[in-house]
């Protein structure tokens, strides 16, 4: 599945968006309508059966209008998934040490993503899609999460609540741990309920990020 837009296409869209603030607002509104329509299609049909024509029809726009913003259906769906993932990532800002805030954010995001209707639909209808992002490469959504984790870990290292180490390596391990939990929660649901498993995820992430001298 395509996760990034063609550079030339992206440049053209950026140029179009730069025309005026009013054009920006209008264009963003159209893009939101298209992404909302794509969400509706995905929930009804799954990834593979969603077509650009149906997305355009539900958005109330022409197919050329969609093509001016995305080169194909996969790109629309990729941006939709990125939008939905971004919305599920809690804010790690707050008062006090960053590590407890980060642990809470990771478990909350794992719950929100794991129970998200789009994620559940894709898992039911197109589970093979996830294989690419488990063993082959990072998707755009995963990169968004990784960037948030890196920033929070750097802040935690600065306030002393997160152990030393390469922030990107620490963030990558937290991402992989949370991702594995989310993807496997259905498999283990007969043995451990969802909430309990996420509590264990929180303990694991907290212990992993804790400074060595504070570990039990």
Shared domain for 124 and 193, answered yes or no, is yes
Of 124, 57, 140, 172, which is closest to residue 132 (Cα–Cα)?
140
Shared domain for 42 and 135, answered yes or no, is no
Note whether residue 70 is domain-resident: yes
The domain of 162 spans: 89-214
Q: What residues contact residue 48 under an 8 Å CB cut-off, 6+ apart?
A: 125, 126
Shared domain for 73 and 127, answered yes or no, is no
Shared domain for 73 and 95, answered yes or no, is no
Tens of pLDDT along the chain (216 residues)? 333 333 332 333 333 333 344 444 456 799 999 999 999 999 999 888 999 999 999 999 999 999 999 999 989 988 898 888 888 877 777 778 999 999 999 999 888 888 888 888 887 777 776 666 555 556 777 888 899 999 999 999 999 999 999 999 999 999 999 988 887 777 777 788 888 899 999 999 999 999 987 555
Note whether residue 113 is domain-resident: yes
Shared domain for 28 and 105, answered yes or no, is no
Listed residues 78, 108, 123: the one ending a domain: 78
Q: Look at the chain and report how many structural domains it folds into.
A: 2
Shared domain for 100 and 190, answered yes or no, is yes
- pTM of the entire structure? 0.72
- How much is the pLDDT for 190? 79
Q: Report H helices in the chain.
A: 7-17, 21-45, 52-59, 63-67, 73-88, 98-114, 117-125, 129-131, 140-159, 167-188, 194-209
Of 120, 131, 122, 153, which is closest to residue 47 (Cα–Cα)?
122
- How much is the pLDDT for 119? 82
């Amino acid at each position: 599945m395509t996760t990034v837009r063609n550079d030339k296409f992206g440049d053209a869209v950026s140029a179009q968006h730069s025309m005026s603030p009013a054009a920006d607002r209008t264009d963003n509104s159209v893009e939101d309508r298209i992404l909302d329509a794509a969400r509706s299609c995905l929930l009804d049909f799954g990834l593979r059966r969603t077509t650009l024509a149906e997305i355009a029809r539900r958005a109330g726009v022409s197919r050329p209008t969609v093509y001016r913003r995305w080169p194909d259906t996969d790109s629309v769906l990729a941006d939709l998934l990125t939008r939905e993932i971004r919305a599920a990532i809690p804010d790690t800002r707050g008062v006090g040490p960053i590590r407890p805030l980060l642990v809470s954010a990771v478990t909350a995001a794992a719950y929100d993503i794991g129970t998200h209707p789009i994620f559940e639909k894709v898992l039911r209808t197109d589970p093979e899609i996830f294989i690419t992002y488990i063993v082959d490469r990072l998707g755009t959504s995963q990169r968004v999460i990784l960037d948030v984790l890196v920033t929070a870990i750097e802040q935690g290292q600065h306030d002393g609540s997160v152990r030393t180490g390469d922030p990107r390596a620490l963030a990558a391990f937290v991402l992989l741990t949370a991702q594995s939990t989310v993807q496997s929660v259905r498999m283990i649901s007969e043995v451990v309920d969802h909430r309990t498993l996420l509590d264990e995820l929180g303990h694991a992430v907290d212990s992993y990020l804790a400074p060595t001298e504070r570990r039990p």
